[in-house]
Amino acid sequence: MTELSLRHIKKSYGHVEVLKGIDHQVPDGTFFTLLGPSGCGKTTLLRVIAGFVTPSVGSVHFGSEDVTGVPPHRREIGMVFQDYALFPDKSVFDNVAYGLRARRVPKEEIRRSVNEYLERVGLEGFGERLPTALSGGQRQRVALARALVVGPRVLLMDEPLSNLDAALRVQMRDVIRSLQLETKTTTIFVTHDQEEALAMSDTIAVMKDGRIDQCGAPDDVYRNPKTAYVSKFVGSANLLQAKPVERCNDGICRFEVEGSNFAGRIMSEANDGRYLVVARPENLGIRKAAAAPGECELSGVVISTQFQGYRTSYRVKLKSGSEVNVETFGEMDGSPLTRGDEVIVSFQDKCIFVPEASQ
C-alpha cells in the first residue's frame, strides 16, 4: 500500500538544471508513466525515486514516510532496466531468488515464491537455465519476476521494452500490465514511446525539458492536449495558425483559420493571444469540393493517398500552402479520392485551440 509523492523536486548538475520542479502524487497501486523525448530528465527522476540520485531540492515520500535520505537498498523498490541487468553467472532461479535470500527468507518459502513468479511471467521450467540461454523477451521476464517477487513498495522500470523487437514489445506490454494489475504494485514506467504509454498506463506525465508539461489519463492527454508540444508528442496532430475573433460565454471561442470561421475550445490560455488549431487526422472529414467551404472547413487539393486496408490516409495541401493529414476508416461514399482532387477538409466540432508559443 504505497502512494508515491514527489514534492518540488529539482536536480542540477553543475549549472545545468535537469529537473526543474516536479510535484506529483502517484496513487497507491496505479501505473504511472513518464513519457518524453531523450534528455528530458525521465531517468534522472526515476533515479531520484530509487535513491541513486539525491535531489538538489525537494523530497520523495513513500506513503507517510519521507525516503529522501534513505539509501536505495532500504527503500524496498523493484527495478527493471532496458538491458535486463541479470546476474550472468546465476541461473534463472537464483536471479529471481536473489532479493529473497538477501532478506533471509526461509528456503522453502523462497522455492515456492520463485516458482510462483516464474509461472506468472510464463517461465515455469526455466529455473535451471543461465540468462545467456534465454531470448531478450525471456530475460526481461526474469528481470520482472526478480523485481516483483520481493513485493516491492514501488516498481520502477526504465525503458524496459526498448531492446526488444516490435512484436515482442507489444506482447510484453500485456505481461507487465497484467502482473501490475494482479499484484497492485505502484509502478513508475519510463518510456519515449507514446503508444506504449497510451496502451499501458493509468496516468501519463508528458515531460519536457525537466518539467511535467501535462499529466492525465491516456485518453484525456490524447483528446485534450493543453499544449502544441503534447499534441505532437502524443499521437499525430495537424496544427494551423488561428486568430481569435470572439470569445463566447460557454467556453467556446470563435477563430479565423486561413480565411474560414472556426469555433472550438481553448485548452490553455496564450499569454500573447496567438493560438493554433489542433486536429487529429482521424477527426477530420474529407469530401470532393462541390461548393465553397462552410464553417470549420477549408478547401485544398489531395497531394497523396495511402490505402491501408481498414483506413486510408490523405495528405491535403490547403489554399494557404499548409498541409494536413486526414484519415478515413472503412469505405467512402461515392468514388474514391485521388491525387489532384479538389476537396473540402472539415474540422467538424472536434477542433481545439492551444497556445502557439511553447510556455
Distance CA 203, CA 197 (A): 9
Could you say which residues in the range 215-274 bind ligand ADP, by CB under 6 A? none
**Interface stretch with ligand ADP, choices 36-44, 148-156, 322-330, 346-354 (CB under 6 A):** 36-44
HEC string of 281-301? HHHCEEEECCCCCCCCEEEEE
Per rule CB under 6 A, count of chain residues that contact ligand ADP: 10
CB 190 within 8 A of CB 42: yes
- Smallest distance from Mg ion to CB 16, Å: 16
Note whether 43 binds ligand ADP by CB under 6 A.
yes
Please say which residue, 192 or 280, places its beta carbon nearer to Mg ion: 192
Which candidate, 332, 344, 283, 276, places its Cα nearest to that of 307? Answer: 332
Please pick, from the candidates 8, 23, 25, 39, the single residue that binds ligand ADP as defined by CB under 6 A: 39
Please say which residue, 158 or 341, places its beta carbon nearer to Mg ion: 158
- Smallest distance from ligand ADP to CB 13, Å: 3
Note whether 43 binds Mg ion by CB under 5 A.
yes
C-alpha cell at position 307 = 490505402
Q: How many other C-beta atoms can be found within 10 angstroms of the C-beta atom of residue 249?
A: 5
Note whether 33 binds Mg ion by CB under 5 A.
no
- Smallest distance from ligand ADP to CB 43, Å: 3
Note whether 161 binds ligand ADP by CB under 6 A.
no
**Interface stretch with ligand ADP, choices 33-41, 219-227, 238-246, 314-322 (CB under 6 A):** 33-41
CB 143 within 8 A of CB 84: yes
Could you say which residues in the range 75-104 bind ligand ADP, by CB under 6 A? none
Please pick, from the candidates 1, 38, 106, 167, the single residue that binds ligand ADP as defined by CB under 6 A: 38
- Smallest distance from ligand ADP to CB 355, Å: 24
Note whether 52 binds ligand ADP by CB under 6 A.
no
Single-letter amino acid, residue 188:
I
Note whether 40 binds ligand ADP by CB under 6 A.
yes
Distance CA 302, CA 12 (A): 49
End-to-end CA distance of the chain: 36
Secondary structure class of 278 (helix, strand, coil) = strand
Helical (H) or strand (E) element with 261: strand 260-266
- Smallest distance from ligand ADP to CB 126, Å: 31
Note whether 44 binds Mg ion by CB under 5 A.
no
Which candidate, 35, 42, 49, 38, places its Cα nearest to that of 19? Answer: 42
**Interface stretch with Mg ion, choices 43-51, 101-109, 129-137, 179-187 (CB under 5 A):** 43-51
- Smallest distance from ligand ADP to CB 62, Å: 21
**Interface stretch with Mg ion, choices 39-47, 201-209, 272-280, 328-336 (CB under 5 A):** 39-47
**Interface stretch with ligand ADP, choices 25-33, 42-50, 57-65, 240-248 (CB under 6 A):** 42-50
Q: Is the dihedral of CA 262, 265, 270, 271 positive or negative?
A: positive
Strand order in the sheet with 57-62: 16-26, 4-13, 57-62, 65-66
Give which of ligand ADP, Mg ion, none residue 27 binds (C-beta under 5 to 8 Å, depending on kind).
none
Distance CA 241, CA 258 (A): 8
The contacts of residue 200 (CB under 8 Å, 6+ apart) are 31, 33, 173, 176, 177, 189
Single-letter amino acid, residue 295:
E
Note whether 18 binds ligand ADP by CB under 6 A.
yes
Residues in the site for Mg ion, rule: CB under 5 A? Answer: 43
Contacts with ligand ADP, residue ranges (CB under 6 A):
13, 18, 36, 38-44
